[in-house]
Structure 1
């Protein structure tokens, strides 16, 4: 575990920033209601016109000084129904505001973004639009694409030597599935995220698309659908380094948001552990663990519950992590960091960012004036 983390912000500054965010959220909600009312106004007016016309027709009395035939000619004529073409739904996005904090050397991770999902704003960022290697955070998109295509979670896939050789040659993290071992699709989903198993991810890719290459095409189609294809492009489903396998921490935050909107993905990303069924190769089954979630659950996040997470590491990216947290009032936030010098550093950076920019102020924290990260104990 890493040493103590000292923030550049006091509790008073934190409280002020939270108050600003609360005011901004209220203002945005009011603007959203105003837009909804404006959209409905033409329908109210049109309804009123029809009521007046129908009332006039029911009385069957012409207006004074106007011939009967003129009044009847003015009656509304039936209109042919015009097919309405729905506008394509715009991809979800978040934007900087005047209150967005530009992080510097006080945050050890080289890249970072903290997103308020409800307010659709960026609370803090550090090189958030810089293209990086996403490492195994890639598997969040692997999970999402697979979840959108599978229909039977109890269907099975049998591991092939091509997959195990790929994992061995490239030094991938794996679940540990043997050649010829059969696993359910549900187990492959959990195996892709919790232990970051490349064997499980490749099994999903082959099951869904017939080949790794075809599945990667689906991944890039999803990036385009999410509006991220200008900066994000993937060449594999496991996160191996490739000069053309890139995205930004902003892109990864949007990928995680899309995954959190999918119920199946949400269940997998939120799991601390998952136990697989016994097989001949593993008679007692295997217990899969999401170590990021298990390690951050006793850290000071300012009262937020971290409900999803995926880590990543290759030497070119350093330690990366993407997580989603929920406040007691139901507000949701996403944090993505890149190039921390250790896996523990990534955990503490996420905890500190949630505590500083997302947590509601408490009487105890304001009164004590405690230093952020003071509870972090060295390894």
Structure 2
């Protein structure tokens, strides 16, 4: 399937972007060093003067001391002449905080939160929305999006045979899996559902291998997609599964943008919105398997203020806590995105999403309805 993928960037453009990122990192490093020097150089100069006084120098420094002092003073002048570059806070791609954006505190247990009105792209509530986190298995939203955009509908009925390399990768890393066995053959469609519903790393790596020929090549495609979405300043992935890696990170705002893009794809929307899916029988699973999206199944009877959760993906690694990304719709068709991270349990993440939808989205929808009725002269 390698030949079916065409990057949106040429090699020259990708090289230029890499150089730009490297230059930006170097600029930040230089700014940090300038700040450090501005703090420590005055102390060093005081120390030099103190030593000179102790040596009984009254007429100034010796030639050697003057040379040392001259170098230090020139360095101080050079650094103070160019003020430190302030690091600008990252702004969520396409999402806008307003005067009405609620800054959440400890009343909501999840440590990082962003809640977005999709119709206006306004942030209704947030907490640490631009802090870089480890996204865990929420990563798989991007996995299915990249795969969906790289294949044709007819390819969904194509088959893929599981390899020992993939099952070993999942076993060694302690991943959640569908339970596919070595040499078990399944359809590409089942790989999509297996990646999302049970958060199967075996299905995800299988899907990546089918699409790109290798896991590594697929990850490159994922990062191309992050650049295309305008998220590469804060988002970078090193695997398609969500395993912890210091370089595998994004913000909850980034993940909201990824989910929005995925829900705009018919196949991804279908997969992310499925509560259950039954796979076809195989030799290893003669009765097939029933796959479940437990977030959707567990939130469907919770009080969300009348909103229906249309799609979701959870995630967990120790370093990220319990995470979840969901998309909901009000009875009037109004749509919302919610991403949370670092809740203390999977159930807590579900309750936090339900509470956010009920408190801020249902109220927002009621306000919009009241304003529309007022403008139309319709009694409520």
TM-score scaled by length of structure 1 = 0.71
2:181 to 178, 183, 192: 178
Partner of 1:366: none
Distance 2:93 2:351 in 1: 28
Structure 1 unaligned runs (5+)? 1-90, 363-379
2:267 to 264, 267, 272: 264
Q: Does 1:307 align with 2:310?
A: yes
Q: Does 1:109 align with 2:110?
A: yes
Aligned length: 273
User: 1:1-379 maps to which residues of 2 (within 5 A)?
Assistant: 93-151=94-152, 152-360=155-363
C-alpha displacement of 1:92: 6.5
Distance 1:211 1:153 in 2: 18
Distance 2:357 2:219 in 1: 33
Distance 1:267 1:315 in 2: 29
Distance 1:243 1:353 in 2: 29
Higher relative contact order (CA 8 A, sep 6+): 1
Distance 1:156 1:98 in 2: 52
TM-score scaled by length of structure 2 = 0.71
Partner of 2:80: none
C-alpha displacement of 1:120: 1.1
C-alpha displacement of 1:258: 0.1
Distance 1:161 1:185 in 2: 18
**CA deviation vs aligned residue, 1:147-204 (integer Å, no higher than 9, x gap):** 0012210000000000000000000000000000001000000000000000000000
Partner of 1:88: none
Distance 1:356 1:254 in 2: 22
Q: Secondary structure at the match of 1:201?
A: helix
**CA deviation vs aligned residue, 1:105-138 (integer Å, no higher than 9, x gap):** 1110000000000011000000000000000000
Deviating above 6 A after TM superposition, structure 1's stretches of 4 or more consecutive aligned residues are none
Distance 1:150 1:271 in 2: 20
Partner of 1:70: none
Q: Secondary structure at the match of 2:347?
A: helix
Distance 1:225 1:147 in 2: 16
Structure 2 unaligned runs (5+)? 1-91, 367-380
Distance 1:150 1:159 in 2: 19
